[in-house]
Structure 1
């Protein structure tokens, strides 16, 4: 196979990865995973079976490396940390400690169980960062899709991290990829897992905007047919109107799956998703604060 053909095959495999194809995902991992990192899987952050997380660290860790906690998507009903080895590979290439957390899912639980789990995972990451060479004062939370919704709630409704024992201001920033962050629930399965309608306002990140939240980066694909990019654009504008720090970036030609593929396998994507995340990890406030435009198209 030519190099071009190999790259195309890997791209197709990576897309299948994000869509849940096990065998193609393993093929992509076999072709692309490096030897520069160490993965420690299945560490408990709570007593429940799904309260487990995987830690990725570079083999050579620079002192005080940033710690990135990643929350995957799956419509609050599916997903596994094991599916994100390529993302761990990509993040450790940037010198980060990556923490990929599993969490409880519907129908075993309903809202807010997964938000509570994510907050506990953040607490664990902060408490254990130094064990893996990370800086407990340099933690950023990143989520995709349903995980992006959770990340946005952690950023905007301070009670979840507070109840988990995370001090105010302990997380430097939050990034949401393709998240339903400013919307209303219309699909019956999502309505069911979010609980009684009277409680839905609390599940909407936009409900909690007051201008005092930590920096929030909202990344979205212009071609996303699962979650409209208007969701991210609206929330960024709403936060900036209140004097808070938020920025939305919309990528041309990118859909709901391709945005996480671009983050996990940047060498086969033209969308600079990982570069934009890296800029945010370096300087959340400088990247997202009101001096910057509320939205940017790439």
Structure 2
């Protein structure tokens, strides 16, 4: 057996053993996320926590950078999900770890949530976080001219709005074209609001068209990558497929990738802990960050 094959087998055994321990501790009542972090977090990154990007309590962010980062690393601003009502940057240490392993600087902000605020507060916060990342990336080894925004679920909706409705970044002071691309994972990006709680947090019904990313498609968007699992029962994968088709029909650059059988949570787990899934979410994101236009202009595909 070759040395490479032996290493692959060893890695697979270690992963299986780690997952068994994870399941045992989770069954015993321990936090699955904390157990996973204890098992899987590496030491190759440096985390700088709770940096202010605004004056509000939740306008704080964490920066993850490779411990041996060279100046000029790509920068990813990641917007987490939580139905615009929950979530915390502290839940995404494994994602910060995964991105730094690929040579990126990751910026993960908190943002204001319902019921304390309604739309568009979290979009405004995300835009301010992007402004902060552009202004401060070089201090952490990042390239401010190589900036990509990624979001999952509700965060994917925000990322799509930042991509398609230029006013949010413009009002935050981000120059046009400063973000090279946007990626949305399992986002409600081409849909209508039907659930009462979402209708409430999006504000009066007459304003809902402005909350729909598809409303703002004009064909001159930055590259947009839409990743979704075909097994998603929370947000229909057709939401991503429809938006990509709309953008391409108008002459824009967008690509939807559907992963067979992958669910709503599985897709972000696959990005944060790639060894637990056959869906190449982290690989596709890495390819996109390296060259957003080349990746997004290929059109729709399934894995």
Report deviation, 1:12. Answer: 5.1
Contact kept in structure 2, 1:229 and 1:250, CA below 8 Å: yes
Per the alignment, residue 108 of structure 2 pairs with 100
Matches within 5 A, 1:195-234: 195-234=203-242
Larger radius of gyration: 2
Q: Which residue of 2 aligns with 1:283?
A: 291
SS state at 2:64 partner: strand
1:296 matched to which residue of 2? 301
Q: Is the 8 A contact 2:15 2:275 kept in 1?
A: no
Please state if 1:76 is matched with 2:84. yes
Measure, in 2, the Cα distance between the counterparts of 1:164 and 1:213: 18
**Structure-1-length-normalised TM-score:** 0.94
2 CA distance for matches of 1:89 and 1:116? 26
Counterparts in 2 of 1:105 and 1:133: CA distance versus 1, 3 Å: same
Match of 1:132 among 125, 140, 145: 140
Quote the offset at 1:6 in angstroms: 2.1
Structure-2 separation of matches of 1:50 and 1:174: 23
Q: Is the 8 A contact 1:141 1:174 kept in 2?
A: yes
Distance 1:10-1:39 versus aligned 2 partners, 3 A rule: farther
- Unmatched tracts of structure 1, length 5 or more: none
Offset, 1:3: 4.1
Aligned to 2:190: 182
Kept in 1, the 8 Å contact 2:22–2:32? The answer is no
Provide the rounded CA distance (Å) in 2 between the counterparts of 1:100 and 1:158.
Answer: 21
- TM-score, normalising length from structure 2? 0.93
Q: Which residue of 2 aligns with 1:9?
A: 20
| Shift in Å, 1:11 | 6.8
Aligned to 2:70: 62
Aligned equivalents of 1:11 and 1:135: distance in 2?
36
Ranges in structure 2 where 5+ consecutive residues have no aligned partner: 1-12
Q: C-alpha separation between the residues in 2 aligned to 1:234 and 1:92?
A: 32
Per the TM alignment, residue 123 of structure 1 is displaced from its structure 2 partner at its CA by 0.1
What is the Cα deviation at residue 62 of structure 1? 2.1
In 2 relative to 1, CA 212–5 (structure 1 residues): closer, same or farther, beyond 3 Å? closer
Corresponding position of 1:193: 201
Paired with 1:174 and 1:167, the residues of 2 have a C-alpha distance of 15
Give the aligned partner of residue 266 of structure 1.
Answer: 274
Structure 1 Cα separation of the partners of residues 22 and 202 of structure 2: 34
RMSD (Å) for aligned C-alpha atoms: 1.6
Contact 2:147–2:179 (CA under 8 A) maintained in structure 1: yes
What is the DSSP-based 3-state SS (H/G/I as helix, E as strand, rest coil) of the residue aligned with 2:180? strand
| Count of residue correspondences | 289
Q: C-alpha separation between the residues in 1 aligned to 2:128 and 2:223?
A: 20
Q: 2:59 matched to 1:51?
A: yes
Residues 52-95 of structure 1: CA deviation (Å, up to 9, x unaligned): 00000000112200000000000000000000000000000000
Q: Partners of 1:160 and 1:10 in 2: how far apart? A: 45
